[in-house]
Amino acid sequence: MDRQAIEKTAGHLRPLMPTPPEIGLILGSGLGVLADEIEEAVRIPYEDIPGFPVSTVEGHAGRLVYGRLEGATVVAMQGRFHYYEGYSLQEVTFPVRVMKALGVRELIVTNAAGGINERFQPGDFMIISDHINLLGTNPLIGPNDPELGPRFPDMTEAYSRRLRELAKETAARLGVRVHEGVYVANTGPSYETPAEIRMIRTLGGDAVGMSTVPEVIVARHGGIEVLGISCISNMAAGMSDAPLHHDEVVETAERVKTDFLRFVKAIVAEMAKS
């Protein structure tokens, strides 16, 4: 990844951000409402950011929102870039590089995911404990710039134990139903077959989606501490009689919106204290 491109984009954004953002947020399908809660907001459409790709999928506003949330200075991606849209993983993860250059030290990554664990139900949240990368590629492939991070970054604690504990305590305090589990990334855009879901369950997956893993790999490469939260929007293929449809993903996100907002805002409030 080319440091000059990152610095060019960060240099464009810095004058728009009176104080450097400490916490980054990546908001998944139907979960972008959280960015509407940001105060003293500076909203920057991706198309106005030099070096940024442009978002294409419905339900994604496609802008960066900078401002204050629960006592923290944050920058949120309202809509993300997906590999299935045709972007390279370097493009998908470019905003994480920019966040790091702007000062972000902690990243909250959210997504809508299909439930694989039999104990899950649509509308539940899952704190991501770990991931399995089934994308068949990695955003760090290519020359490594040691200024950005190590050639062979450790992934032992990709998802911060400290932030996971903080999130679990917050969920308990708020009475929000959460699980902890392993997120599996597939490329999409087709959903999995029932046989693939059985395979992923055997492999140790609890939820499956089409995002998050590339951003987390790049965040960890850059030394950013990561918290991942999945919204279980539907059960995965073969687990119910219903065929899978993106509308259900968006509908569930809509239904759990208030809890999602309460939950993530309370986590940010705790992170701002520590």
Which positions touch ligand 6GU (CB under 6 A)?
A: 112-114, 186, 188, 191-192, 208-210, 233-234, 236-237, 244, 249
Residue with smaller CB distance to ligand 6GU, 19 or 202: 202
Q: Please confirm, yes or no, whether 211 is among the known catalytic residues.
A: yes
Tell me the two tokens of residue 71: 């006592």
Contact present, 60 and 80 (Cβ < 8 Å): yes
Max Cα-Cα span within the chain: 52
- Please list the residues that pair with 74 across neighbouring strands: 23, 67
Q: In 3D, which of 188, 203, 236, 235 has the Cα closest to residue 87?
A: 188
Contact present, 169 and 114 (Cβ < 8 Å): no
Contact present, 229 and 110 (Cβ < 8 Å): yes
Q: Please confirm, yes or no, whether 169 is among the known catalytic residues.
A: no
Q: Please confirm, yes or no, whether 29 is among the known catalytic residues.
A: yes
Q: Please confirm, yes or no, whether 88 is among the known catalytic residues.
A: no
Set 1, 10, 17, 29: catalytic member: 29
Q: Please confirm, yes or no, whether 266 is among the known catalytic residues.
A: no
Residue with smaller CB distance to ligand 6GU, 170 or 186: 186
Residue 112 beta carbon to ligand 6GU: minimum distance, rounded to whole angstroms: 5
Residue 249 beta carbon to ligand 6GU: minimum distance, rounded to whole angstroms: 5
Strands 72-78 and 23-27: parallel
Set 10, 35, 66, 85: catalytic member: 85
Q: Which residues are catalytic?
A: 29, 60, 82, 84-85, 112, 210-211, 234, 246
